[in-house]
Amino acid sequence: MTDNIQDLLSWDRTLVWHAFTQMAEYEPFVIERAEGCVLVDIDGNEYIDGVSSLWCNIHGHRHPRIDAAVREQLDLVAHVTNLGASNPTTIRLAKRLVDIAPPGLKHVFFSDDGATSVEVAVKMAFQYWRQCPDPPSPPAPLPKGEGSCCGTTAGDKNCFVALGEAYHGDTIGSVSVGGVERFHAMFRPLLFETLRVPAPDSYRTPPNVAPDELCRHHLAELEKVLAEHHRRIAGLVIEPLVQGAAGMIMHPRGYLHGVRELTRKYDVLLIADEVAVGFGRTGKMFACEHEEVVPDLLCLAKGLTGGYLPMAATLATDEIWNAFQGDYSEGKAFYHGHTYGGNPLGAAAALATLDVFEQERTLEKMPAKIARLEEHLARIARLSHVGDVRRRGLIAAVELVQDAATKEPYPWTEKRGQRVCDFALTQGVWLRPLGNVIVIMPPLAITLEQLDKIMEAVEKGIPAATA
């Protein structure tokens, strides 16, 4: 087939249905190759990757160690199912993940994307309560007329708790525990019911409320829900420390730890979705480490393969694993699987990604980058039309507002965030906003000079987009 650039652009507009994109307005942005943290488009223009190819790239693109690992795996086998079969690379990855994960997470269920890692966790939690040897005692019958949270009988742990504006992916199960109104409202009739607790969002809290107080207040709110409904709640799903798609909402310190204590107290499984924040983004390998939390189920994807290949993992404790053991005839197996779950090419990329963390001492190099990011943010915070800047590790967000004093937001239809990103593109920087929030989430391998360039593009872009 002969094709030229014009053909490709035309097919991209009309044949490819892009995710989260209004295709009637779509303008092709076609990346042909990349090197390190720089993307090169089909016309040869270069852009610094300011959002890690949607929050997944870690060590840069075309990293020689990861490229070689994938090639070596190709010389062995490209794919082996994990339905009753295995391969050495995937086994080694499971061992490696168990070694680095918060202690106690000892079993790895592989799938292929962030949403599936959450879907798996939700289904595992549900099934766990039906099979665990010591289920919580049945509650007293509900008063007449008072329905249970999922329209099921009391005593069944059928419900989940999730945070306001949570995002856990786009399959129906993960949308059910998600809570971003603009993405999820359409699908509400298809979803199972989830009890929602508000996210502890310091930006949308009056300025006189200290972080400790915010934390205490939200834990108290959560405790009310758990105290009332815990017998019917299978698990609580949370994005630890940073709620990404909600606009990089950053939780106050201590909140995650408090959530862990409450879920233990009320016999509710804690599902930590580290799809976005895992693999170093927050400055530690896993966000849970900041608060010494061990969840019952840990969801990983995105950075797992360094952003190379679709692969995800749901890690579980012995307690959960044991509840699924039994004679074949008992039907206790986890009847869930994906054709490419645990695929060896992804596993090879993941193992190499972990090697690079060690060889390049990636986490040790982060403080200097974080400090530089912080310097830029302090300057940007003073611009008019900036309502807030926030950061955790190498994840940063700049919130645009009509009026910094009142924090009056721009209508989302004005696409102010996108305008800043369009400007950044003219400066050789690729960013993707979340509504009026400009997200800066570069690969951990970003250099200080590249970071400067990204932040200068944001700084110049804001006045241009808000004039």
List of residues contacting ligand PLP (CB under 6 A): 55, 113-115, 118, 167-169, 239, 244-245, 273, 275-276, 301-302
In whole angstroms, how close is the CB of 171 to ligand PLP at the nearest point?
A: 8
Measured from the CB atom, the residue of 20 and 328 that comes closer to ligand PLP is 20
Decide whether 178 or 258 has the Cβ nearer to ligand PLP: 178
* CA-angle at 409, arms to 403 and 411, nearest 5°: 125
Pick between residue 157 and residue 168 the one whose CB is nearest to ligand PLP: 168
**Closest separation in Å from C-beta 274 to ligand PLP:** 8
Cβ closer to ligand PLP: 120 or 454?
120
Q: Output the CA torsion 161→163→168→170 (10° steps).
A: 90
Task: Rank residues 230 and 302 by Cβ distance to ligand PLP and give the closer one.
Answer: 302
For the CA atoms of 353, 355, 359, 360, the dihedral, rounded to the nearest 10 degrees, stands at 10
* Minimum distance from residue 141 beta carbon to ligand PLP (Å): 37
- Residue 79 near residue 41, CB atoms below 8 Å: no
Q: How far is the CB of 97 from ligand PLP (least distance, A)?
A: 17
- DSSP annotation string for 383-417: STTEEEEEEETTEEEEEEEEETTTTEEPPGGG-HH
Nearer Cβ to ligand PLP (171/205): 171
- In the complex, the smallest distance separating the C-beta of residue 338 from ligand PLP, rounded to whole angstroms, is 12
Which residue minimizes CB distance to ligand PLP?
114
| DSSP-derived pairing of the beta strands 269-273 and 297-300 | parallel
Kindly list the distances between the CA atom of residue 464 and the CA atoms of 107, 375, 400, 419, 431, in Å, as whole numbers in the listed order: 50, 21, 12, 8, 16
Kindly state the smallest distance separating residue 302's Cβ from ligand PLP, in Å: 6
Q: State which residue, 113 or 165, has the beta carbon closest to ligand PLP.
A: 113
Minimum CB–partner distance for residue 178 and ligand PLP (Å): 9
- The smaller minimum CB distance to ligand PLP, of residues 158 and 314, is found at 314
Integer Cα distance of 16 and 93 in angstroms: 34
Q: How far is CA 177 from CA 43, 72, 180, in A?
A: 41, 39, 10
Closest to ligand PLP by CB, 66 vs 277, is: 277
Alpha carbons 241 and 290: distance in angstroms, whole number: 9
Shortest Cβ distance from residue 276 to ligand PLP (Å)? 4
Give me the DSSP letters along 78-111. S----SS---HHHHHHHHHHHHHSSTTEEEEEEE
- The DSSP secondary structure of 109-150, one letter per residue, reads EEESSHHHHHHHHHHHHHHHHHH-SSPPPPPPPPPTT---TT
Minimum CB distance to ligand PLP, residue 248 (Å): 10
Whole-angstrom Cα distance, residue 422 to residue 412? 16
Choice between 201 and 267, CB closer to ligand PLP: 201
- Compute the C-alpha angle 231/296/233, nearest 5°: 15
Main-chain dihedrals φ then ψ at residue 344, nearest 5 degrees: -65, -30
CB 405 within 8 A of CB 385: no
Cβ 301 to ligand PLP shortest distance, Å: 5
Alpha helices (runs of H) in 286-343, residue ranges in sequence order: 318-323
Residues 6+ apart with CB under 8 A from 389: 377, 378, 380, 381, 396, 397, 398, 399
Q: How far is the CB of 92 from ligand PLP (least distance, A)?
A: 23
| Residues 6 or more apart whose Cβ sits within 8 Å of residue 145 | none
From edge to edge, which strands make up the β-sheet containing 31-35? 31-35, 38-41, 46-49, 429-430
Nearer to ligand PLP, 219 or 245 (CB): 245
Contact 112, 341 (CB under 8 A): yes
